[in-house]
Chains A and B, each alone.
Chain A
Amino acid sequence: MGIAIGLFVAIVGVILFVAGRIGGGRGDRWVAYLYLAPVVLMLAVGLIYPAGRTIWQSFFDAAGTSFVGIDNYHTIFTSPDQLTVLRNTVLWVVVTPFVATAVGLLYAVLVDKARLEAFAKALIFLPMSISFVGASIIWKFVYEYRPDQPGVRQIGLLNQLIVWAGGTPQQWLVESPWNTLFLIAVMIWIQAGFAMTVLSAAIKAIPDDVVEAARLDGVSPVGMFRYVTLPSIRPAVVVVLTTIGIGTLKVFDIVRTMTGGQFDTSVVANEFYSQSFRSGNEGLGAALAVLLFVLVIPIVVYNVRQLRAAEAS
């Protein structure tokens, strides 16, 4: 560790020294290259090389020794186990961003300029400050199952509510595919705060005169939302949707903490981990990682485009 820091300091020192010696005219370009060099180097070592290696590895067998072509990808799209993983991932990516954004948006609109707005916002933002693992442990208790019989006390919030209402306790995390939806609820709980914060800021940025003009025209609250608020904050909504979407694709902690991928709840990121490190199937693990990478790209591209469009306008 000490050596690494020392090395880093030394390299930066050399760059600054050399950059200081070159000056004027054509030299400026060289100075720019010099400053870029460490970044390019680190990107190459930390990002491009591992990415390339992972792609390469995904064409090899479990031990990483013999070339198997696209066999691993074939497995992902044909084996029943892996198809369940894909189904779950689709469920996560389709449900989470939209519900989380909708909840965040609704909340932002409702508390906007309300009394105790800051306090209300803090409440829904709090889950954001908890780690995914922490949140999962909290929700594991919410879903905890105990049979309804004498001498047994419920310790799960949800089942206690059901027992009070006269129902029988359920094992929330066992029935597939419903258990995936119960896991998704945790993600929504965490991300709604993020959505609310960004969208609330966007709502506040709507020029007062626009709102004023709409009011004078006699627009109803629903109409105001439909024709004024929503169009004005469209870029922010897209950014929130895509950001949560990317985060959801990579979801790992929640699944691993709450079910360990059991009961058909595994998702691509979790399956990648368990194939690579538990099953010792590095080829399939690498293929899953590549798939994840490929799936994220279009969302990232769309996100960047939207950001650029928003800046341009």
Chain B
Amino acid sequence: MPFRATKSRLAAASAGVLGLTLTLTACGGGSDNDTSADAPSVDCAQFSQYGDLKGKTVTVYAGIVTPEDKAYVDSYKPFEECTGATIKYEGDKSFETQILVRAKAGNPPDIAIVPQPGLLAQLVETGRVKAAPPEVGANVDKFWGADWKSYGTVNGTFYAAPSGASIKSLVWYSPKEFKDNGYQVPKTLNELVQLSDKIAATGKKPWCAGISSGEATGWPITDWMEDMMLRLNGPETYDKWVKHEIPFNGPESTAALDEVGKFLKNDKYVNGGLGDVKSIATTTFQDAGQPILEGTCSLHRQASFYAANFPENTKVAEDGDVFAFYLPGKDANSKPLLGGGEFNVAFADRPEVKAFQTYLSTDTWANVKAQVSQGWVSANKGLDVAKVSNPIDKLAAELLQDPNSVFRFDGSDQMPGAIGSNAFWKQSTSWITGQSTKQTVDNIEAAWPK
């Protein structure tokens, strides 16, 4: 009797499993339908090195969500079409925490697009990250500078090839508004203040800002502060600050945050069309720059990737609806450049994962990705800047290649997780809602892991 019961239960259980598998397959198939016309055709010959990967699947997990994610999915299509592999892309706003949870729980994706070297180090600690295959290492040696390779290296082992790069030292503005009012693009920080005063004198709030971003709320202020840190104290001090060789509550960082306060905590300057200073805290960074199009504010400091957040028919160009200028240095000669980047981290070393990882580290992919993207460049030297038609990407690429530029990677992204993705965000949020600069830097210093 017990046996018969068990048998029928087994049958029911396997039916259930079968049903589940079918459902999953059906879900996976859906994403293949939206073939985009944007994906450029690529000669399949160069993909022959990866072999036939028909029926193989590689999962990609990233923090990049709509609308920026479409370009990623599109850029994978040549690989899918030529090798027969399927790439499953999953974007998640809570990527930074979820990737750690998934890695620790033993359920990581095949490839994760990690935007922070600090997070990469944390992931490596879980023991689940696979070292990059030699082909990827060779590509990175060939196409990137040594500094970029070092961001993807932890404890001497090279793990992750850089993917995209973004330029953060940019101020978005309306070229038409500037032309109509005779405003000049400022060449120094002082001129930027003068321009802000000039716009404020017309009764308008010149700056638009927003820092809301789910649990990552506060990060845009960290970018502001890093930019000012670089401008006021120079790159060497900046490096010491990032490595915590000087305290977070020292005079240098206090001055830098106060400088940010001159803009963001100034009732005359913010928050154009969006409310008072406090409204910065609850405005999403995606929404924050949109009022430039409506003319309710003039300036918005945000990275090059912000181009993707404007409505689809917006002309992003020097003679268009919106464009960006380089956030000036202290004087016209110094040109510190704050930027960020993403890295492709692999948690599996199956042949198809290795092949895909290698594809992502090639100049082929960089060029495909640049063609289908808005506001995306790579520091990949194989990227043909002449072919980058998009004006904002051209500006970013030119800034990256400008010999006067002194590039520095986003500081909070390199700090330990307890600071870079917790205390720094949290305290910045408290700062914008009224906490003093001193209290803010003191609290961050106190939170630094001992």
Q: Which residues of A contact B (CB under 8 A)?
A: 1-2, 5-6, 9, 12-13, 16-17, 19-20, 62-63, 79-81, 145-147, 149, 151-152, 171, 173-174, 256, 260-264, 273-275, 277-281
Instruction: Point out the residues of chain B lying under 8 angstroms from A261, CB to CB.
Output: 215, 426
What separation, in Å, do the CA atoms of A20 and B6 have in the docked complex?
A: 13
Measured between beta carbons, the chain B residues less than 8 angstroms from A2 are: 14, 17
> A151–B294 contact, CB under 8 A?
yes
The 3 closest A-B CB pairs, nearest first, are: A260-B215, A147-B275, A16-B2
A174's partner among B14, B422, B433 (CB-CB below 8 A) is B433
Among residues of B, the one whose C-beta sits closest to the C-beta of A148 is: B275
User: Would you call B214 an interface residue if the criterion is a C-beta within 8 Å of the partner chain's C-beta atoms?
Assistant: yes
Report B14-28 residues with CB < 8 Å from chain A CB.
14, 16-17, 20
Q: Are A145 and B282 in touch, CB under 8 angstroms?
A: yes
Give bound CA distance, A260 to B213, whole Å.
9
Are the CB atoms of A174 and B282 closer together than 8 Å?
yes
Chain B interfacial positions (CB closer than 8 Å to A): 1-3, 5-6, 9-10, 13-14, 16-17, 20, 96-97, 100-101, 104, 122, 125, 214-218, 273-276, 278-279, 281-282, 294, 296, 416-418, 421-423, 425-426, 429-430, 433, 443, 446-447, 449
Given contact pairs A63-B125, A174-B433, A280 touches B100 in the complex (Cβ within 8 A) = yes
With both chains docked as a complex, state the minimum distance between the C-beta of B295 and any C-beta of chain A, in angstroms: 10
Count A/B pairs, Cβ under 8 Å. 106
B105 to chain A minimum Cβ distance, whole angstroms, is 10
A147-B417 in contact (CB<8A): no
Interchain residue pairs with CB less than 8 A apart (9): A1-B20, A13-B2, A13-B6, A17-B2, A62-B449, A145-B282, A147-B273, A263-B430, A278-B96
Q: Which of A63, A80, A151, A277 contacts B101 (CB 8 A)?
A: A277
Among residues of B, the one whose C-beta sits closest to the C-beta of A280 is B417
Measured in the bound complex, the distance between the Cα atoms of B426 and A275 in whole Å is 13
Complex Cα distance A149/B294, Å? 14
CA distance A13 to B1 in the complex (A): 11
Who on chain A is nearest to B6 by CB? A13
Q: Chain B residues near A145: list those with CB within 8 A.
A: 275, 279, 282
Question: Contacts of B5 on A, CB cut-off 8 Å?
Answer: 16
B446 / chain A contacts, CB cutoff of 8 Å: 79
Q: Give the CA-CA distance A9 to B7 in the complex, in Å.
A: 9
Tell me the bound Cα distance from A260 to B425 in angstroms.
Answer: 11
Q: Name the one of B14, B97, B217, B296 contacting A277, with C-beta atoms under 8 angstroms.
A: B97
**What is the chain A residue whose CB lies nearest that of B426?**
A262
Q: Which residue in A12, A16, A147 is a CB contact (below 8 Å) of B279? A: A147
B-chain residues with CB within 8 Å of residue A146 when the two chains form the complex? 275
C-alpha spacing A3/B5, complex, angstroms: 19
Residue of A nearest to B13 (CB): A5
**Chain A residues near B418 (CB-CB < 8 A):** 62, 279-281
Least Cβ–Cβ distance between B103 and chain A, in angstroms: 10
- Across the interface, do B6 and A16 meet the contact criterion of CB distance under 8 Å? yes
Give A124 Cβ to nearest chain B Cβ, in Å: 30
The residue on B at minimum CB distance from A62 is B449
A9, B218: Cβ atoms closer than 8 Å: no
For the complex formed, measure the closest distance between the CB of A280 and the CB atoms of chain B, giving whole angstroms: 4
Residues of the A chain whose Cβ atoms lie less than 8 Å from the Cβ of B294: 151
B101 proximity list for chain A (CB < 8 A): 277
Residues of A within 8 A of B275 (CB): 145-147, 171
Pick from A1, A12, A264, A274: contact of B422, CB below 8 A.
A274
- Pair B417/A278 contact, Cβ less than 8 Å: yes
**Known contacts A151-B296, A278-B215, A278-B417: does B281 contact A12 (CB below 8 Å)?**
no
B421 touches A9 (CB 8 A): no
Taking A147-B274, A151-B296 as known contacts, 18 extra A-B pairs with beta carbons closer than 8 A to each other, sorted by chain A number, are A16-B3, A63-B125, A81-B426, A145-B275, A147-B279, A151-B294, A171-B281, A171-B282, A173-B282, A174-B282, A260-B217, A261-B215, A274-B422, A277-B104, A279-B417, A279-B418, A280-B417, A281-B449
Choose among A2, A146, A262 the residue with the greatest number of B CB atoms under 10 Å from its CB: A262
B13, B214, B276, B449: the one within 8 Å of A9 (CB): B13
Contact (A280, B416) CB under 8 Å given A62-B449, A262-B426: yes
B293 CB to nearest A CB, Å:
13
A1→B16 CA distance, assembly (Å): 11
A62–B294 alpha-carbon span in the complex (Å): 48
Q: Report the bound CA distance from A147 to B274 in whole Å.
A: 6
The complex places the Cα of A1 from the Cα of B13 at a distance, in Å, of 11
Q: B433 CB to closest chain A CB, in angstroms? A: 6
A260 to B417, CA, bound (A): 16
Q: A62-B449, A145-B275, A145-B282 are in contact. Are A278 and B422 (CB under 8 A)?
A: yes
- Per the bound structure, the CA–CA distance linking A118 and B421 in Å amounts to 49
Bound Cα distance from A62 to B430, whole angstroms: 24
A260 touches B282 (CB 8 A): no
Inside 8 A of B104's CB, which chain A residues have their CB?
A: 277
Q: Are B430 and A277 in contact (CB under 8 A)?
A: no
Does the CB pair B2–A262 fall under 8 Å? Answer: no
Rounded to whole angstroms, the CA-CA distance of A262 and B281 in the bound complex is 10
**B3 adjacent to A263 (CB under 8 Å):** no
Across the two chains, which residue of chain A brings its CB closest to B2? A16
How distant is B329 from chain A, measured CB to nearest CB, in Å?
32
The answer to whether B3 and A13 touch across the interface, beta carbons within 8 angstroms, is: yes
- Smallest distance from the beta carbon of B265 to chain A beta carbons, Å? 15
The CB with the most chain A CB atoms within 10 A, among B6, B16, B215, B426, is that of B215
Residues in A with CB closer than 8 Å to B423 are: 279
Look across to chain A and name the residue whose beta carbon is closest to the beta carbon of B439. Answer: A80
